[in-house]
Amino acid sequence: MKPEITLPTDARKRAIASIKRYVAERMDQDVGDLKAGLLLDYFLQELGPTVYNQAITDARAFFQERVADLEGACYRMEFSYWPGPSRPT
């Protein structure tokens, strides 16, 4: 089983502060750190994997697009010192 999605301590603190502000401004309610933290934990557990999987899909598509043209972007002509048809065989 893959480890659960967690946030670094600083990011978690900022996320909790953001949730508290969102609830206060959009729902006209005050919530404490505990309730905001529980809500954050729920979102990370329930929605985190969906967001994570989409990010992996996007990254894979990005890199596959770059790799598809790898030969065109990186190919170098071999034995190109001698120009034209007079190249040694």
* Tens digits of residue pLDDT in 48-72: 999 999 999 999 999 998 888 777 7
pTM given for the model = 0.71
Helices marked H in the chain: 9-26, 33-46, 48-68, 70-74
Report the pLDDT value the prediction gives residue 89, as an integer from 0 to 100: 57
User: Using CA atoms, how far apart are residues 73 and 64, in angstroms rounded to an integer?
Assistant: 14
